[in-house]
Copies of this chain bind each other. A is one copy, B any other.
Amino acid sequence: MKYQSINLFDGITTEDCDRMLTCFGAYERRFSGGEVICDFEEPSGSIGVIQSGRAELIRIDAFGSRTILEELEPGSLFGMAFTFSDVCRDSMNVVCTADCVVLYIDYWHVTHECSNLCAHHSVLLQNLLRLMAEKAFSMSQRIEVLSRRSIRDKLMCYFSICSLRAEKPEFTLPFSISALADYICSDRSAMMREMKNMREERLIETNGRRVRLLSVQEA
């Protein structure tokens, strides 16, 4: 099962698309690396779609511990119900890591037939449904990784997912080794120690962000 990423506007012509976006009151914004795209300070009724570039959903807790809650790639959604709204009073941000174009769409407009009867409203809805399914999929993966009890198991689970996605046992991490520690919610030095052990036990080979799974699990 492989998911090729789709864009929200696949199957809609540029003219129709422009017309709908005007009708929806949608708008685009550009961000450059390091900028905070969204800080969830006030509730918003709009969905953000990463059109291009990269961003991360970051949580910083009261003690300054930083966690990457999510990697956002082109096609990724954020905002609204997609993000857990700060129950624990930590600061949450979507931070741009590589120059981004973000499209904002009002949620209400998407779910209600508009008076102009936009021709491709239903196509948009279908695309949105599919993007959300992809998002649900990636969150399930994250839960899968985080549900492991040890750093080693978390790494092995995450690497398995990466290698499955790459369709080979060798792949490149989508972020730095340090960020990987944030992703698996473990201490960086503890993780590096464990990776060293795993290299010595010949479970993996690493070279920078390049990782190769050696023990292709037999089961």
| A interface residues, Cβ below 8 angstroms from B | 1, 3, 43, 59, 62, 65, 67, 69-70, 80-85, 87-89, 110-113, 122, 125-126, 128-130, 132-137, 139-144, 146-149, 156-157, 160-161, 164, 185-187, 217, 219
Contacts of A185 in B (CB 8 A): 146-149
Contacts of A134 in B (CB 8 A): 81
A144-B69 in contact (CB<8A)? yes
Known A88-B217, A89-B217; 10 more pairs at CB < 8 Å: A67-B147, A81-B137, A87-B161, A129-B132, A136-B136, A139-B139, A139-B143, A142-B143, A146-B146, A146-B147
Known: A65-B149, A149-B65. A84 touches B219 (CB 8 A): no
